[in-house]
A and B are shown apart, each in its own frame.
Chain A
């Protein structure tokens, strides 16, 4: 397999005609790579792979401690699905504006790229504001990191996601500043694309968190979850029995 992909021919023209590298032809700075994928872009993909494991472990912790709260406030008393749906929608829309920003820059529409970068950062900030308001509200209702397991896991998971969004907003604002000073041109669109990869990933993580924390109902779910788990284990036992 690997040999087939990496024939000497493929190495002669590492830039190839692949879609991935289509837009960095202008980059004379970057030496050609063995795979044809830009090294910085590959680095971002690898970081996202590790971040998958990071959020995977955090969300697994949340699911393990689901319904482990000994005292209130309990999640079904606090969670406001319509409110969070709006902020989730805002964050998802920011992925759209991110795509528009990159498309504008690749078409050398500098003004368009600035507008869409600013819009993305703004939508991200609105999401963060929504999260801040939600945290404050929950805090007033008596939820805290120390109070019960719901508080500890909820604030940790959503807090780390919020921290990721914050880093993304700072990154976008930095790119906007660079752009306004004339440093983000068509040939630099890879810089924006890499920031975009990060931004989309953070959005996708929110979809998972939204489902796991907000949408799966809490009231009678303990038995349901246990039943589902038992079914999985019974199936596994049967499968093992076949061997």
Chain B
């Protein structure tokens, strides 16, 4: 063990102040914490943007026959709302947390492939820009986030709107795949001594499982999008009935990806809640091993349920029955998780801080979404509910009440670790109740609207429909929800300046990320910790021992409790001095910064952008115009790949 614990004395990589500040240092950074921050900030921006799109939708629907936006603009808004929230907000927010927290939880100094991590981030920015740049051309994707054929056919969608969407999603797919390879290798290979698989925090487990799901699910949509690209650019007929193709093939390829995607978004939130509830119940997680197995079971079953999105397409009774059964079975491991959380809280000393409120909020609200999910797993009921507002109510309870509540909980919970300061708890509580009430006022009435027959995706409804009242309630709820999220942003800004100084472990939590300073030094741990317990910090503090080995957790090279905690009134300068003194080991070997990741991402962007915009055509590859911009992009990408391969990594 000693060999692992002692960092190899190699190049002196003690970061200088110059290397650590300034724009260039952020552009070339390969530090998982900085990349996590950049993911988090940009994804939160897209969360607000997607929320803004939703608010315009709700303004349009606030009363019958409204004309805030027309039908065409409305289609663009709901398409971009879905695409933004799923690919540009929820997924990257979870990736931000994977990046920042997971290496700390397993006692690693960085992820396995730091440059690839940076490349994933810059590709995410490139993909997000490519999709959203369509607003500038006023040819905004309008076919729905699911992109059903023939809505995406050139014949019915002749503008470049779909092209922005298709090529942007391809870049985002590459980004997610590379990120996931990285997380899997990191979790499997970079664990500190003693961090066995069954001692890993559940959040790190969900990181691993979600990354495996991404690796297995994304190729399906990549192929689906490639076939769509070929239909649009080359004139093949993969989804065109006239040519002998089948529009249903798209639905299969899309949902083979799309249903695992639901778990890709919600399992990280389950991991977050599994960290927060034990911390604020003052009890170890109830049924840890079963929690792990349930996560694996959900991931496995998640690949066998996709056709429940297609019950109304006429697959036949056999297929419908099989997919209905698998869908209902998946409620079992999900229910196991919910009972485990309740079991953790049972007889615990509950402390209802803001993160705990969000976590308990998730348990209750996700359950509502899960129950309507089981209901819709039945094909006859689904045929009745299909394409109505009931479906919208269901998946928002799952994705907002599940994924977003979890992410908000995680931000408040780990904010002290990331910034060194606590978020204001009073504003936090107000903000939680605003979000909670706003969320329920927005999405619960949608159940009623759905049962009354209001179809989704319609830009307007008549006065005689009887849908006016609940639509107004929904729109007011959405405004409240928006206000709640704005207050959340205000709380972040306020607490960054005025929040009380946190210290290494403000919540008295059990997992390894709380063993280092807040914010952690660039090398995370001065000495790689050895652990021998699932809840190492509690084991040390409260004397729980799983085995005979002594617990040896260190904060920045010192035993727990030995560190001089900076007090609340200390000035920033003073705290920096303390941090510097406590964490100034030399000879920790760190990866070098690199500019190849961003060059490659820009190259990828130009390559795709060149396929969309009219530019100087260099030559024709069959019917496809190859522009100067595309060629320049490809050259940049190749330059990046080769430069990267021969650049010394460490």
Contacts and interface: CB of A to CB of B under 8 A. Distances in A.
Contact of A156 (B113, B181, B227, B650): B227
Nearest to A34: B191
Contact of B237 (A37, A47, A51, A152): A152
Interface in B239-254: 243-246, 249, 253
Contacts of B4: 11, 14, 31-32
Contacts of B194: 8, 11
Given A68-B244, A145-B622, A233-B318, A57 B191 contact: no
A49 B215 CA distance: 8
B189 A145 contact: no
A6 B197 contact: yes
A132 to B, nearest CB: 15
Chain B CB within 10 Å — which of A3, A31, A64, A233 has the most? A31
A8 B245 CA distance: 56
Interface residues of A, number: 46
A2 B227 contact: no
Interface in A1-23: 2-3, 6-8, 11-12, 14
Nearest to A38: B189
Given A8-B194, A57-B253, A149-B237, A156 B318 contact: no
B189 A146 contact: no
Nearest to A10: B196
Interface string A143-173: 0011011001100100000000000000000
B269 interface: no
B253 A64 contact: no
A46 B243 contact: no
Chain B CB within 10 Å — which of A33, A50, A54, A233 has the most? A50
A8 B531 CA distance: 10
B208 to A, nearest CB: 11
Given A50-B177, A53-B216, A148-B244, A11 B193 contact: yes
A20 B224 CA distance: 36
A57 B224 CA distance: 8
Interface in A115-167: 145-146, 148-149, 152-153, 156
A58 interface: yes
A236 interface: yes
Contacts of B650: 29
Interface residues of B, number: 54
Question: Chain B interface mostly helix, strand, loop or mixed?
Answer: helix
Contact of B3 (A32, A33, A54, A57): A32
Question: Chain A interface mostly helix, strand, loop or mixed?
Answer: helix
B599 interface: no
Contacts of A33: 188-190
A3 B236 CA distance: 52
Interface string A42-66: 1100110111011011100100110
A64 B246 contact: yes
A49 B234 CA distance: 29
A239 B173 CA distance: 38
A43 B235 contact: no
Nearest to B650: A29
A61 B197 contact: no
Chain A CB within 10 Å — which of B185, B235, B238, B245 has the most? B185
A87 interface: no
A240 B235 CA distance: 43
Contact of A61 (B181, B190, B215, B223): B223
Given A11-B194, A148-B244, A237 B220 contact: no
Contacts of B642: 174
A127 to B, nearest CB: 22
Contacts of B584: none
22 contacts: A8-B532, A11-B193, A11-B194, A32-B3, A32-B4, A33-B189, A39-B185, A42-B184, A43-B113, A46-B184, A46-B185, A53-B216, A56-B219, A61-B253, A68-B246, A70-B243, A145-B622, A148-B243, A152-B238, A153-B238, A156-B230, A236-B318
The 4 closest A-B pairs by CB, nearest first: A53-B219, A2-B197, A57-B223, A33-B189
Interface of B: 1, 3-4, 8, 112-113, 177, 181-182, 184-185, 188-191, 193-198, 215-220, 222-224, 226-227, 230, 234-238, 243-246, 249, 253, 256, 318, 321-322, 532, 549, 622, 642, 645, 650
